[in-house]
Structure 1
Amino acid sequence: MTSPTDELFDRLAERGPARLPRRLDWTVRFELERPDGGMDYWFVRFQDGTPHVSRERRDADCVLHCTREVFDRIVEGKVQLVSAMLRNEVSIEGYLLLLLIFRRMFEPPAGAHDPRDLTRRRRAAASATAAESAGASTLPS
Protein backbone atom coordinates (compact mmCIF):
# COMPACT_ATOMS: atom_id res chain seq x y z
CA MET A 1 0.00 0.00 0.00
CA THR A 2 1.36 3.43 -0.89
CA SER A 3 1.45 6.24 1.61
CA PRO A 4 -0.34 9.58 1.19
CA THR A 5 3.09 11.17 0.64
CA ASP A 6 3.96 8.76 -2.19
CA GLU A 7 0.56 9.37 -3.80
CA LEU A 8 1.03 13.15 -3.57
CA PHE A 9 4.35 13.12 -5.38
CA ASP A 10 3.20 10.49 -7.89
CA ARG A 11 0.15 12.58 -8.86
CA LEU A 12 1.81 15.98 -8.62
CA ALA A 13 2.42 16.32 -12.37
CA GLU A 14 -1.26 15.82 -13.19
CA ARG A 15 -2.69 17.94 -10.36
CA GLY A 16 -0.10 20.70 -10.10
CA PRO A 17 -0.78 22.75 -13.22
CA ALA A 18 -4.44 23.26 -12.27
CA ARG A 19 -3.74 24.31 -8.68
CA LEU A 20 -0.50 26.31 -8.85
CA PRO A 21 0.50 29.68 -10.33
CA ARG A 22 2.01 29.38 -13.79
CA ARG A 23 4.45 32.27 -13.76
CA LEU A 24 6.72 31.04 -11.00
CA ASP A 25 10.02 29.21 -11.32
CA TRP A 26 10.86 27.79 -7.90
CA THR A 27 12.12 24.73 -6.07
CA VAL A 28 11.16 22.93 -2.86
CA ARG A 29 12.94 20.03 -1.15
CA PHE A 30 11.12 17.79 1.30
CA GLU A 31 13.24 15.95 3.88
CA LEU A 32 11.14 13.32 5.61
CA GLU A 33 12.52 11.26 8.46
CA ARG A 34 11.49 7.60 8.42
CA PRO A 35 10.75 5.62 11.62
CA ASP A 36 14.04 3.71 11.15
CA GLY A 37 15.97 7.01 11.30
CA GLY A 38 16.70 7.17 7.57
CA MET A 39 15.67 10.07 5.37
CA ASP A 40 13.51 10.31 2.25
CA TYR A 41 14.07 13.24 -0.08
CA TRP A 42 11.82 14.73 -2.73
CA PHE A 43 12.95 17.62 -4.87
CA VAL A 44 10.25 19.49 -6.78
CA ARG A 45 10.99 22.11 -9.40
CA PHE A 46 8.12 24.21 -10.73
CA GLN A 47 8.57 25.73 -14.16
CA ASP A 48 5.63 27.66 -15.60
CA GLY A 49 3.29 25.89 -13.19
CA THR A 50 4.47 22.41 -14.17
CA PRO A 51 6.05 20.36 -11.37
CA HIS A 52 9.04 18.09 -11.99
CA VAL A 53 9.66 15.62 -9.16
CA SER A 54 12.86 13.73 -8.37
CA ARG A 55 14.28 11.97 -5.32
CA GLU A 56 17.43 14.12 -5.21
CA ARG A 57 18.90 16.09 -2.34
CA ARG A 58 19.64 19.36 -4.12
CA ASP A 59 19.72 23.00 -3.09
CA ALA A 60 16.23 24.48 -3.10
CA ASP A 61 14.50 27.81 -2.54
CA CYS A 62 12.59 26.25 0.36
CA VAL A 63 13.26 23.13 2.45
CA LEU A 64 10.72 21.38 4.66
CA HIS A 65 11.90 18.91 7.30
CA CYS A 66 9.64 16.68 9.41
CA THR A 67 8.83 13.05 10.09
CA ARG A 68 7.15 10.99 7.41
CA GLU A 69 4.20 10.43 9.78
CA VAL A 70 3.58 14.16 10.25
CA PHE A 71 3.86 14.83 6.52
CA ASP A 72 1.40 12.02 5.74
CA ARG A 73 -1.12 13.66 8.09
CA ILE A 74 -0.54 17.06 6.45
CA VAL A 75 -1.07 15.58 2.98
CA GLU A 76 -4.31 13.90 4.12
CA GLY A 77 -5.66 17.16 5.52
CA LYS A 78 -5.65 15.88 9.12
CA VAL A 79 -3.02 18.44 10.19
CA GLN A 80 -2.53 21.95 8.88
CA LEU A 81 0.98 22.90 7.76
CA VAL A 82 1.13 26.17 9.69
CA SER A 83 -0.22 24.51 12.86
CA ALA A 84 2.46 21.82 12.59
CA MET A 85 5.10 24.54 12.20
CA LEU A 86 3.85 26.31 15.33
CA ARG A 87 4.08 23.02 17.27
CA ASN A 88 7.66 22.51 16.00
CA GLU A 89 6.66 19.33 14.18
CA VAL A 90 7.85 20.90 10.91
CA SER A 91 10.87 23.09 10.26
CA ILE A 92 11.26 25.32 7.23
CA GLU A 93 14.37 26.83 5.69
CA GLY A 94 14.22 29.44 2.97
CA TYR A 95 11.12 31.05 1.51
CA LEU A 96 8.08 30.05 3.55
CA LEU A 97 5.78 31.63 0.98
CA LEU A 98 6.64 28.85 -1.47
CA LEU A 99 5.33 26.20 0.93
CA LEU A 100 2.22 28.24 1.55
CA ILE A 101 1.63 28.14 -2.20
CA PHE A 102 2.48 24.42 -2.37
CA ARG A 103 -0.06 23.55 0.32
CA ARG A 104 -2.76 23.94 -2.35
CA MET A 105 -1.73 20.40 -3.29
CA PHE A 106 -2.75 18.99 0.09
CA GLU A 107 -6.22 17.62 0.74
CA PRO A 108 -8.53 20.03 2.56
CA PRO A 109 -9.52 19.17 6.13
CA ALA A 110 -12.63 17.03 6.51
CA GLY A 111 -15.74 19.21 6.30
CA ALA A 112 -13.87 22.15 4.84
CA HIS A 113 -15.47 24.22 2.11
CA ASP A 114 -14.53 27.11 -0.10
CA PRO A 115 -15.93 30.27 1.53
CA ARG A 116 -16.75 31.62 -1.93
CA ASP A 117 -19.23 28.75 -2.43
CA LEU A 118 -21.01 29.66 0.81
CA THR A 119 -21.23 33.30 -0.28
CA ARG A 120 -22.64 32.28 -3.68
CA ARG A 121 -25.32 30.16 -2.01
CA ARG A 122 -26.27 32.98 0.37
CA ARG A 123 -26.52 35.48 -2.49
CA ALA A 124 -28.65 33.09 -4.55
CA ALA A 125 -30.98 32.52 -1.59
CA ALA A 126 -31.24 36.28 -0.94
CA SER A 127 -32.01 36.91 -4.62
CA ALA A 128 -34.69 34.23 -4.59
CA THR A 129 -36.24 35.70 -1.44
CA ALA A 130 -36.17 39.20 -2.95
CA ALA A 131 -37.79 37.93 -6.16
CA GLU A 132 -40.54 36.18 -4.16
CA SER A 133 -41.17 39.34 -2.15
CA ALA A 134 -41.33 41.45 -5.28
CA GLY A 135 -43.71 38.96 -6.91
CA ALA A 136 -45.96 38.86 -3.83
CA SER A 137 -46.29 42.64 -3.70
CA THR A 138 -47.50 42.84 -7.33
CA LEU A 139 -50.32 40.32 -6.87
CA PRO A 140 -53.82 41.86 -6.99
CA SER A 141 -55.76 41.85 -3.71
Structure 2
Amino acid sequence: MADPTVEYFAGPARQRADLLPSGFSATVRLDLRRAGRTDHWYLVLDERDVTISEEGERAADCVISADGEVFDRIVAGADATAATLRNELTYRGAPVVLIYFQRLLPGPPGSHGPDRVDRGDGGDRGR
Protein backbone atom coordinates (compact mmCIF):
# COMPACT_ATOMS: atom_id res chain seq x y z
CA MET A 1 0.00 0.00 0.00
CA ALA A 2 1.28 3.48 -0.85
CA ASP A 3 2.13 5.92 1.92
CA PRO A 4 -0.18 8.99 1.66
CA THR A 5 2.30 11.24 3.49
CA VAL A 6 5.21 10.35 1.21
CA GLU A 7 3.02 10.72 -1.87
CA TYR A 8 1.92 14.17 -0.66
CA PHE A 9 5.45 15.47 -0.14
CA ALA A 10 6.68 13.94 -3.40
CA GLY A 11 3.85 15.63 -5.35
CA PRO A 12 1.33 18.21 -4.12
CA ALA A 13 3.63 19.75 -1.48
CA ARG A 14 6.09 20.66 -4.22
CA GLN A 15 3.34 22.73 -5.86
CA ARG A 16 2.93 24.70 -2.61
CA ALA A 17 6.66 25.36 -2.22
CA ASP A 18 6.16 28.85 -3.67
CA LEU A 19 4.56 29.71 -0.30
CA LEU A 20 7.99 29.44 1.35
CA PRO A 21 9.91 32.70 1.71
CA SER A 22 12.55 33.46 -0.89
CA GLY A 23 15.96 32.28 0.28
CA PHE A 24 14.51 29.95 2.93
CA SER A 25 16.42 26.71 3.37
CA ALA A 26 15.90 24.07 6.05
CA THR A 27 15.70 20.36 6.71
CA VAL A 28 12.82 18.52 8.35
CA ARG A 29 12.76 14.92 9.51
CA LEU A 30 9.40 13.19 9.85
CA ASP A 31 9.42 10.31 12.33
CA LEU A 32 6.21 8.41 11.58
CA ARG A 33 5.20 5.45 13.73
CA ARG A 34 3.58 2.67 11.69
CA ALA A 35 2.91 -0.98 12.53
CA GLY A 36 5.42 -1.27 15.38
CA ARG A 37 8.24 0.58 13.62
CA THR A 38 9.26 4.20 13.03
CA ASP A 39 9.82 5.39 9.46
CA HIS A 40 12.19 8.34 9.09
CA TRP A 41 11.59 10.65 6.12
CA TYR A 42 13.98 13.50 5.40
CA LEU A 43 12.72 16.63 3.66
CA VAL A 44 14.89 19.37 2.21
CA LEU A 45 13.14 22.71 1.81
CA ASP A 46 15.43 24.81 -0.34
CA GLU A 47 14.85 27.81 -2.57
CA ARG A 48 11.16 27.08 -3.00
CA ASP A 49 11.56 23.38 -3.70
CA VAL A 50 10.82 20.28 -1.65
CA THR A 51 12.58 16.92 -1.89
CA ILE A 52 11.88 13.85 0.24
CA SER A 53 13.98 10.77 0.87
CA GLU A 54 14.23 7.95 3.37
CA GLU A 55 17.53 8.56 5.15
CA GLY A 56 17.20 7.13 8.66
CA GLU A 57 17.72 9.16 11.80
CA ARG A 58 19.74 11.93 10.18
CA ALA A 59 19.97 15.29 12.00
CA ALA A 60 17.57 18.02 10.86
CA ASP A 61 16.63 21.61 11.69
CA CYS A 62 13.23 20.39 12.88
CA VAL A 63 12.09 16.85 13.78
CA ILE A 64 8.36 16.17 13.67
CA SER A 65 7.03 12.99 15.27
CA ALA A 66 3.55 11.52 14.97
CA ASP A 67 1.61 8.37 14.42
CA GLY A 68 1.55 7.68 10.67
CA GLU A 69 -2.25 7.71 10.62
CA VAL A 70 -2.30 11.17 12.23
CA PHE A 71 0.05 12.56 9.60
CA ASP A 72 -1.93 10.89 6.82
CA ARG A 73 -4.98 12.83 8.09
CA ILE A 74 -2.94 16.06 8.16
CA VAL A 75 -1.87 15.73 4.52
CA ALA A 76 -5.53 15.03 3.71
CA GLY A 77 -6.54 18.36 5.28
CA ALA A 78 -6.72 17.90 9.07
CA ASP A 79 -5.37 20.75 11.20
CA ALA A 80 -1.70 20.24 12.19
CA THR A 81 -1.93 22.88 14.92
CA ALA A 82 -4.88 21.08 16.52
CA ALA A 83 -2.93 17.79 16.35
CA THR A 84 -0.03 19.52 18.12
CA LEU A 85 -2.33 20.90 20.82
CA ARG A 86 -3.74 17.38 21.34
CA ASN A 87 -0.13 16.13 21.63
CA GLU A 88 -0.68 13.83 18.65
CA LEU A 89 2.13 15.61 16.81
CA THR A 90 5.33 16.74 18.53
CA TYR A 91 8.36 18.59 17.26
CA ARG A 92 11.80 19.61 18.39
CA GLY A 93 14.09 22.11 16.78
CA ALA A 94 13.59 25.54 15.25
CA PRO A 95 9.96 26.73 15.61
CA VAL A 96 10.29 28.96 12.52
CA VAL A 97 11.00 25.85 10.43
CA LEU A 98 7.81 24.24 11.74
CA ILE A 99 5.83 27.38 10.91
CA TYR A 100 7.14 27.50 7.33
CA PHE A 101 6.77 23.73 6.98
CA GLN A 102 3.06 24.09 7.78
CA ARG A 103 2.68 26.26 4.68
CA LEU A 104 3.25 23.10 2.65
CA LEU A 105 0.26 21.38 4.24
CA PRO A 106 -3.07 21.50 2.45
CA GLY A 107 -5.34 22.78 5.22
CA PRO A 108 -9.04 21.94 5.40
CA PRO A 109 -10.82 20.90 2.19
CA GLY A 110 -12.05 23.97 0.32
CA SER A 111 -9.60 26.34 2.02
CA HIS A 112 -7.39 28.77 0.14
CA GLY A 113 -3.72 29.55 0.59
CA PRO A 114 -2.78 33.06 1.68
CA ASP A 115 -2.05 34.18 -1.87
CA ARG A 116 -5.28 32.74 -3.27
CA VAL A 117 -7.88 34.46 -1.12
CA ASP A 118 -10.15 36.81 -3.03
CA ARG A 119 -11.78 39.12 -0.49
CA GLY A 120 -13.65 41.00 -3.16
CA ASP A 121 -12.22 44.33 -1.98
CA GLY A 122 -9.18 44.61 -4.22
CA GLY A 123 -6.93 43.13 -1.54
CA ASP A 124 -6.32 46.42 0.29
CA ARG A 125 -8.25 45.71 3.48
CA GLY A 126 -7.47 48.18 6.23
CA ARG A 127 -6.02 50.89 3.97
Q: TM-score, normalised by structure 2?
A: 0.80
- Contact kept? 2:17, 2:104, Cα under 8 Å: no
SS at match of 1:98: helix
**Deviation for aligned residue 1:16:** 4.7
Conserved 8 A contact 1:26-1:45: yes
Q: Do the aligned partners of residues 71 and 37 (structure 1) sit closer, same or farther apart at CA in structure 2, a change above 3 Å counting?
A: same
Q: Contact 2:13–2:105 at 8 Å: present in 1 too? A: no
Which residue does the alignment assign to 2:97? Answer: 98
In 1, Cα distance between the equivalents of 2:51 and 2:15? 12
Provide the aligned C-alpha RMSD in A. 2.2
Q: What fraction of aligned residue pairs are identical, expressed as a percent? A: 38
Deviations 1:58-117 (CA, angstroms, capped at 9, x unpaired): 10110000000000001111x211111110101110112212211222222024345741
Q: Cα–Cα, structure 1 residues 111 and 48, in superposed 2: closer, same or farther, change >3 Å? A: closer
TM-score by length of 1: 0.73
Structure 2, gaps ≥5 residues long: 123-127
Q: State how many pairs are aligned.
A: 119
Q: Which is further off, 105-114 or 65-74?
A: 105-114
Give SS of 1:88's match: coil
1:109 aligns with 2:108: yes
